[in-house]
């Protein structure tokens, strides 16, 4: 099978994470990938990526890279404001696209991106990485396969430091010209997608938001109440605080009529379970990993399976495998667009103080600046 020539646009936190796992995939599957070129306007970021991951050429401008290189796939890992132009350019070049979340600066912009990749018939995947998390896959499998009864309530709490300091030291995150918004669209979009992935599309939501840090249009607190077709109610809280030592946290609790699942880990960790009249039990992280490994495709080499707790590795392996086998990668950009729609419905609800019926909410204009 021909080697896949890969380009990387944006070599910051997430671009480097992709490059690291692609390097790992390449080592486990010799002759499968070629890390061809990287582009970043910060020459030191490009040089670091070249030194660390072996990219052959470095550019300071992503469109120049797309024009000059013959690539099979590109990873769009620049700040959100640049996603649309890169995706459209790569699609015109016939290049497969992995685009980081959130898809776009607005639902309208994202809809044009989806139309473009479909028109050019290029394979595409969105970086909704929680779909490749060990603990969430095992939870989802338990929901599907154990007799937990009717899902009654979900409580989902997600907090991290405002990502302009600490691990995510990205000044653009506080600039509404470069970011799609604040904690909900730039981080909680993963959570909205996860809820839809677990329970199907929500039918209604209501949301509340605050902006305490004071970066215009970049909110740092959002609470969303969602209702699903089967009556399930979910509460999602997203917070960007200012405690640089506090790690990024998610806690997900699912209450069913005859079952309870909870985890404080979003990738790999312990899973609390209770089934029917049994006592509460714990699946240790090692058991969660084992359970997830059983769900992975047999084609995944054992040198990668043992690292399946690294969701980015599983995610990028899935993208590479889909390209190698001519399958449609999942989740595609249209899934990112749906998560963007839910986030914008939440912003609309918070601005108007009213709930939103989701079947008929398709924003046609970019959301106005948020308080």
Ligand X SMILES: NC(=O)c1ccc[n+]([C@@H]2O[C@H](COP(=O)([O-])OP(=O)(O)OC[C@H]3O[C@@H](n4cnc5c(N)ncnc54)[C@H](O)[C@@H]3O)[C@@H](O)[C@H]2O)c1
Binding site for ligand X (CB under 6 A): 9-15, 39-42, 45, 62, 77-80, 82, 100-101, 127, 129, 168, 170, 172, 186
Question: How far from 168 is each of 16, 160, 171, CA to CA, in Å?
Answer: 12, 10, 9
| Shortest distance, position 272 Cβ to ligand X, whole Å | 24
CB of 260 to ligand X, least distance (A): 27
Nearer to ligand X, 125 or 209 (CB): 125
Closest to ligand X by CB, 131 vs 256, is 131
C-alpha distance across the termini of the chain, in Å:
52
In the complex, least distance from residue 208 CB atom to ligand X, rounded to whole angstroms:
23
Backbone angles phi, psi at 227, to 5 degrees: -120, 140
In this chain, which residue has its C-beta nearest to ligand X? 12
Nearer to ligand X, 10 or 329 (CB): 10
Strands of the chain, DSSP E: 4-9, 33-39, 57-59, 73-76, 96-99, 124-126, 151-161, 202-210, 221-228, 233-241, 249-256, 259-263, 271-275, 281-283, 356-357
25 vs 232, which CB is nearer to ligand X?
25
Spatial contact of 99 and 72, defined as CB atoms under 8 Å apart:
no
Give the nearer residue to ligand X in terms of CB position, either 101 or 215. Answer: 101
The minimum distance between CB 33 and ligand X, in angstroms, equals: 20
Nearest to 160 by CA among 135, 186, 139, 136: 186
Minimum CB–partner distance for residue 350 and ligand X (Å): 20
Write down the least CB distance from residue 234 to ligand X, Å.
21
DSSP state of 280: P
Cα separation, 134 vs 308, whole angstroms: 7
Of 85 and 112, nearer to ligand X (C-beta) is 85
């Amino acid at each position: 099978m021909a080697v896949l020539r890969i380009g990387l646009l944006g070599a910051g936190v997430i671009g480097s994470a992709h490059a690291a796992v692609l390097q790992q995939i390449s080592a486990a599957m010799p002759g499968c990938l070629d890390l061809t070129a990287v582009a970043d306007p910060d020459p030191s970021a490009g040089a670091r990526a070249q030194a660390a991951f072996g990219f052959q050429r470095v550019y300071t401008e992503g469109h120049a890279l797309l024009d000059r290189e013959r690539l099979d796939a590109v990873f769009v890992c620049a700040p959100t404001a640049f996603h649309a132009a890169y995706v459209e350019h790569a699609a015109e070049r016939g290049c497969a696209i992995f685009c980081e979340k959130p898809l776009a600066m607005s639902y309208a912009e994202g809809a044009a991106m989806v139309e473009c990749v479909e028109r050019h018939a290029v394979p595409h995947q969105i970086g909704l990485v929680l779909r490749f998390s060990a603990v969430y896959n095992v939870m989802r499998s338990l929901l599907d396969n154990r007799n937990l009864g009717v899902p009654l309530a979900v409580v989902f709490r997600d907090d991290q430091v405002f990502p302009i300091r600490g691990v995510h030291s990205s000044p653009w995150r506080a600039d509404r010209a470069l970011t799609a918004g604040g904690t909900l669209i730039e981080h909680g979009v993963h959570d909205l997608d996860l809820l839809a992935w677990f329970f199907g599309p929500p039918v209604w939501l209501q949301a509340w938001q605050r902006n305490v840090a004071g970066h215009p249009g970049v909110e740092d607190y959002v609470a969303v109440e969602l209702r699903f077709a089967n009556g399930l109610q979910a509460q999602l809280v997203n917070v960007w605080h200012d405690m640089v030592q506090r790690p990024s946290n998610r806690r997900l609790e699912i209450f069913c009529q005859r079952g309870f699942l909870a985890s404080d880990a979003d990738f790999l960790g312990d899973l609390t379970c209770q089934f029917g009249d049994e006592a509460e039990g714990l699946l240790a992280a090692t058991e969660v990993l084992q359970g997830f490994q059983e769900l992975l495709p047999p084609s995944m080499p054992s040198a990668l399976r043992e690292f399946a707790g690294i969701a980015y590795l599983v995610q990028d392996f899935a993208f590479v495998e889909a390209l190698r086998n001519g399958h449609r990668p999942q989740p595609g950009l249209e899934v990112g667009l749906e998560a963007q729609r839910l986030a914008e419905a939440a912003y609309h609800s918070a601005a108007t103080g009213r709930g939103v019926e989701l079947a008929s909410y398709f924003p046609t204009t970019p959301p106005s600046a948020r308080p």
